[in-house]
Amino acid sequence: MANSRRVNIVKVGDALYESLPDGVLKPLKGDSDWARVDAMTEEEVEAAALSDKDCQPLSDEDWAKVKLVAPSRHP
């Protein structure tokens, strides 16, 4: 993963932002069809997520390696 970089994500209300090193919050934009997702049942959402071969659930061993980081407060 030579091209990987750490990205700090902050949620403000319903919006997601990338927290930049200088404290600026950059809005994250995507092509997701959230209206379609909102219309899906929990079972449909889970089935769709599990069908994505690139995004399989984390194992207990993977979760044991997760480092949770509290968001910092900027003046």
Which pLDDT tens digits describe the chain residue by residue (75 residues)?
Answer: 455 567 788 888 888 899 988 989 999 887 788 889 899 999 999 998 899 888 888 899 999 999 988 887 765
**Dihedral pair phi/psi, residue 11, rounded to 5°:** -105, 125
Dist. CA 39–CA 41, nearest whole Å: 7
Dist. CA 24–CA 10, nearest whole Å: 11
Domain ranges of the chain: 31-55
Tell whether pTM > 0.85.
Answer: no
Which tokens sit at 8?
């700090």
